[in-house]
Structure 1
């Protein structure tokens, strides 16, 4: 059975342009996202970037590309991303996902959905049973860290580690979105 794609959503009380900047600018993104120790644009390759992740003292690297972005007639935006790692220490071989930004009355509904393939055969599939929920939790915790930054002005580096909470984020795709796929 194929594992479920990861899904996280939250409401951030800010304007769409501010949220877009804090998620699309690598220098700002790496400050709030627990999943990445570094995100750096690749010179001469528009939309491409290199990333590094550290987990349990192990650093793995990979590359990604902002494959597309679109502003919709209702004012919402979508950003599509592809990523891959040739690093033999990386459980993740390649994946893709999206960020959706939907203005609502009191802020922006910020949603991500992504999935990835693993390496190491059956061992990788078994390792992913533990890693995937942790990766989802890290994504949700990071979204709440970003929310706190934009709503309170407290930079991520000054937030207590217990201030963000993954529990404040939705982690299950709403049924109406599943039906629309």
Structure 2
């Protein structure tokens, strides 16, 4: 799989399953989706769904998918898998597939995903994916996983977590802007010691903005594992699903 994200959540397996498998809850914490709707299905068939993602305030792309889950496995883990496709002409993601694994681990659960997709638009799409979309998708997945963790562990709702993140981001931007403004408006006559220190302000502010840890109640992609284990592979369940058209 091209992208991998893993987090550990101190919560029960059933709680994590419900908040990831129920569409109305899933779309609250997952930044990659604005809306998820299950479609009617017959008994024994995989679950088909529609999804929509608001890319810009005036642009929403949509697609369809099919998913299946294994809620009771002999080893005590759970697995779900999906395939998806989008016929929207402005969607860079043409089709893809992925899985979630739920692995009990002491007083918590290792929740992890692996997924990949095929971009459209030929060589331009491949370049845009490599430089922009794929890094963004990896970050969005990890950030969303940490937002889910905060919801389950700390009771921080996804909506509150987003506000916390926006406030944190605003403070970092203000710090960098203030340092740059101080440098630009510094008095012409300064003591020698101050003259050497003032140019360092922007560098210190940028380092703080980039590397200072966020609040424990603010989601952060950096808290998630992004490198897959050597033996990570897609579950066999994924190969039973046909690509939706």
For residue 68 of structure 1, report the CA deviation from its aligned partner: 4.2
The equivalences for 1:94-173 within 5 A come to 94-129=95-130, 130-159=132-161, 160-161=164-165, 162=168, 163-173=218-228
CA distance in structure 1 between the partners assigned to 2:152 and 2:221 by the alignment: 16
For residue 49 of structure 1, report the CA deviation from its aligned partner: 1.1
- Contact 1:7/1:114 (CA < 8 Å) preserved in 2? yes
Partner of 2:230: 175
The equivalences for 1:1-181 within 5 A come to 5-44=2-41, 47-57=47-57, 58-129=59-130, 130-159=132-161, 160-161=164-165, 162=168, 163-177=218-232
More moved, 115-124 vs 43-52? 43-52
Unaligned runs of 5+ in 2: 169-217, 234-245
For residue 65 of structure 1, report the CA deviation from its aligned partner: 1.2
CA distance in structure 2 between the partners assigned to 1:166 and 1:54 by the alignment: 20
Q: TM-score, normalised by structure 2?
A: 0.68
Query: Which aligned runs of 4 or more in structure 1 are off by greater than 4 angstroms?
Result: none
Q: Deviations over 1:79-115 (max 9, x none)?
A: 0111110101100011000000000002000010000
The structure number with the bigger radius of gyration is: 2
> Which structure carries more strand by proportion?
1
SS state of the match for residue 225, structure 2? coil
- Contact 2:41/2:47 (CA < 8 Å) preserved in 1? no
CA distance in structure 2 between the partners assigned to 1:123 and 1:36 by the alignment: 24
> Which structure carries more helix by proportion?
2
SS state of the match for residue 175, structure 1? coil
CA RMSD across the alignment = 1.7
Unaligned runs of 5+ in 1: none
